Amino acid sequence: MSTPASFLTDEMREQAIGTESQPVTIVVEKGAIVNFAQAIGDANPIFNDEILARKSQSGTLIGPPTFLRSIRAVQPEIPFEMPFERLLDAGSDWDYFEPVRVGDQITAVGRIIDISERSGRIGLMIFIKTLITYSNQFNEVAANQTNTLIRY
């Protein structure tokens, strides 16, 4: 497959940056936290054991640090055609402010904060940086996640 030498224009970058996703809201269920902790192989009682978690600092079961990924925040839509079918996750930066507790109502909104391109071994790659804000029912930001996706 041949890819163009360059794809993004300044105009496209301006169009894309600031684009927001539809918000996604979920209620954090106990089963979802325990399933997630088991799937990552983390046996920490604060993520697994309701009774022990009750005696912990947070007073209840909380989600492991990357649990919020399971909310499946919607990626903001790129406002132009992207002729790249493949996808790679390049990394994430998380800032944590409040624990995510069982029963919390979490709303996730994503916003494109940067888009750039680079040529590499696998051809032309488009780097899309999205800031996802996860807020709880008290309008507190529980966490911010900056995620970088590569389309190629």
Partner 1 sequence: MTVQVYWEDVAEGMKLPSLVKNVTTRQLVQYAGASGDFYEIHYDKDFAQETGLSGVIVHGALKSAFLGQLMTDWAGPLGALKRLSCQYRGMDYPNQPITAKGTVTRKYQEGEQYLVDCTIWLENPEGESTTPGTATVMLPSRIANAK
Which residues contact partner 1 by CB under 8 A?
A: 32, 35-36, 38-42, 44, 46, 56-57, 64-66, 69-70, 72, 86-96, 99, 122, 148
Cα dist from 52 to 55, 56, 59, 124, 127, whole Å: 5, 7, 9, 50, 42
In angstroms, the CA 78 to CA 150 distance is 13
**Judged by CB, which is closer to partner 1: 7, or 123?**
123
CA distance 132 to 64: 17
Q: How far apart are CA 47 and CA 61, in angstroms?
A: 6
Taking the C-alpha atoms of residue 19 and residue 70, their distance in angstroms, rounded to an integer, is 22
Between residues 4 and 41, which has the closer beta carbon with respect to partner 1? 41
Between residues 12 and 84, which has the closer beta carbon with respect to partner 1?
84
In the complex, minimum distance from the CB of residue 128 to partner 1, in angstroms, rounded to a whole number: 14
Least separation in angstroms between residue 12's CB and partner 1 is 25
**Length reported for the chain:** 152
Smallest distance from the beta carbon of 67 to partner 1, in angstroms? 9
Q: Which is nearer to partner 1, 35 or 79 (CB)?
A: 35
Question: What radius of gyration do the chain's Cα atoms show?
Answer: 18
Q: How far is the CB of 9 from partner 1 (least distance, A)?
A: 27
